Chain A
Amino acid sequence: MLSLLRSPKPTFKHMLIGDWLTIIFSVMLTVYLFQTLWSHEHASKVQIRIGDKVYAAYDLNQQRDIKVHGAIGDAVIHISQGKVRFSKSPCHNQYCVHQGWLTRSGQAAICLPNQISLELIGEQKPYDSLNY
């Protein structure tokens, strides 16, 4: 090990094209696998839809309030370290606020009167559509 550190030059000199490719490729593979396979047991993002448009997606690992303007008024969506909820809504029944925290991938909260929906997105969608 010490000898390698003292004289790196001969080592690099003896490396062939295949060795270089192997190193480059290994790095790429590591980055790729890290991105794809890194376990997302908990959701990583919340997707907010207003009407028929995707409004935005926010990372869940933060603490913030997002004010969004829906069909009947302003709603506040609260993100707090891995979970998200409707914290204020102009709708009458407040079903969306009562839904509480969403934490796992695939969970959703919908405010029909204000036409805003929240959906937690992870790497894997547990289902294509929700029967409710």
Chain B
Amino acid sequence: MRKWPISLIAIAIFAMAIAGISALKQEPLYHTQSYVFGTLVDISIYGEPEERAKQLANQVLQDFQNLHNQLHAWKPASSNQPSELGTLNTAFANGNKPINISPQLATMLIDATDLSVKSQGLFNPAIGHLVSSWGFQRDEFTAVNIDDAKIQALVKANPRMTDIVVKDNTAYSTNPNVKLDLGGYAKGYALDKAAEYLRNQQVKNALVNIGGNIIALGQHGNQPWRVGIQHPRKPAAIAALDLADGWAVGTSGDYQRYFTLNGKRYCHIIDPNSGYPVQHTQSVTVLIPPQKNAGVLSDVASKPIFIAVAEDKARTAAMLDIQYFMVIDQQSNIVVSNALAQKLEWLDPEVKKNSHVKLVTLP
């Protein structure tokens, strides 16, 4: 037999290696973006045939839209029919007669009440009247005339989740000043629903992002899903982290919904105790380990930490059993829990050099 020249063998090996690299680059990843929930929804599905991935993603989007119509705090579901939440709010305002609600809404109200109590009222979806008087129950925000007396009165009216009585799929409120705004809960709930749906459909690997709240299923090929955390003052990520199967991450910031008046920023996160938008914090990020309501926690848990003053933030996180959290204050100083610090890779050049910002790691 004729001996093959060494060059031919080398070429064959090279060719195979290159073909291999090229094949790896064609990964089975389906990615789609849509505008639902008044925000951007971004879904990635890995390892499913494209047609199926597309169908699954569309179903998830459809479910989001339905939930959005059901829970919208200020928009009717259709021209002559208010959303389920709108109907309930009208009933709350008109007295304490129980009205029928869907089992799904009943479950949400009970769960949201638990979380509100656990956060000592800092997470309070009952302050819809405050939220709307600050002008945040609109699609676009304009500076409002700040009516101190009205705000004082709304705080004094003391609307709380515990004023709501839920029984046998009916609900009423003992306080007519309760107006529900599930803006800090619904997206998280939708995330959990999406994860549950995809798991039931035997999807192994997916990443679902609703307006910044993200949950992971499985991983991205042979690597974990990787998510960036938005810098509150730059159009870039400040850090990135791996999101393993079942983990969720959420950020509350003063940069997505706000208006400025006389040089001051008024964001959509309102301290229920003062009735005023929080001005000491730029953003709070929480990372939630796998559990049944990881999505809800990723949405809810960042709010009380955001609202609490600096010296109370760590205690507030502990109150909600949150170990992984990061706070960026109004001076852009960063406080990060040790557990989260170990998972973060800093991307921002200033943070990397540790200039202009103070990075504090909590024990």
Contact = CB atoms under 8 A, between A and B. Distances in A.
Nearest to A36: B21
A130 B11 contact: no
Given A93-B259, A102-B235, A106-B236, A128 B18 contact: no
B301 to A, nearest CB: 14
A21 B14 CA distance: 12
A110 B40 contact: yes
B347 A126 contact: yes
B7 A18 contact: yes
A107 B236 CA distance: 5
Contact of A52 (B14, B32, B235): B32
A106 B237 contact: yes
A10 to B, nearest CB: 20
B237 A130 contact: yes
Given A51-B34, A126-B237, A92 B225 contact: no
A29 B324 CA distance: 46
Contacts of A22: 7, 11
A62 B41 CA distance: 31
Most chain A beta-carbon neighbours within 10 Å: one of B18, B32, B140, B236:
B236
B214 A131 contact: yes
Most chain A beta-carbon neighbours within 10 Å: one of B39, B214, B237:
B237
Given A25-B14, A130-B212, A131-B212, A104 B229 contact: no
Interface in A94-114: 95, 99-102, 104, 106-110, 112-113
Contact of B140 (A16, A113, A115, A130): A113
Contact of B228 (A18, A29, A51, A106): A106
Nearest to A33: B18
Contact of B44 (A18, A29, A102, A128): A128
B142 A92 contact: yes
Interface in B250-287: 250-251, 253, 255-256, 259, 285
Nearest to A86: B235
Contact of A100 (B35, B39, B42, B235): B235
B18 A92 contact: no
A132 B236 CA distance: 10
Contacts of B259: 93
A129 B42 contact: yes
Contacts of A32: 18
A132 B253 contact: yes
A109 B235 contact: yes
A52 B296 CA distance: 25
B94 to A, nearest CB: 33
Interface string A1-39: 000000000000000101101100100010010001000
Interface string A59-92: 0000000000001000000000000000000011
A127 B253 contact: no
25 contacts: A18-B8, A18-B11, A25-B11, A29-B14, A29-B18, A52-B32, A52-B33, A93-B140, A93-B141, A95-B255, A100-B235, A102-B236, A104-B236, A112-B40, A113-B140, A126-B228, A127-B240, A128-B225, A129-B227, A129-B228, A131-B209, A131-B227, A131-B251, A132-B212, A132-B229
Closest 4 CB pairs of A and B: A132-B230, A92-B140, A127-B228, A132-B212
Interface of A: 16, 18-19, 21-22, 25, 29, 32, 36, 49, 51-52, 71, 91-93, 95, 99-102, 104, 106-110, 112-113, 115, 117, 126-132
Given A102-B236, A126-B228, A130-B212, 19 more contacts: A21-B7, A22-B7, A92-B141, A93-B259, A95-B255, A108-B235, A126-B226, A128-B226, A129-B209, A129-B228, A130-B228, A131-B209, A131-B227, A131-B230, A131-B249, A131-B251, A131-B285, A132-B211, A132-B256
Interface of B: 5, 7-8, 11, 14-15, 18, 21, 32-35, 38-40, 42, 44, 139-142, 207, 209, 211-214, 220, 225-230, 235-237, 240, 249-251, 253, 255-256, 259, 285, 347
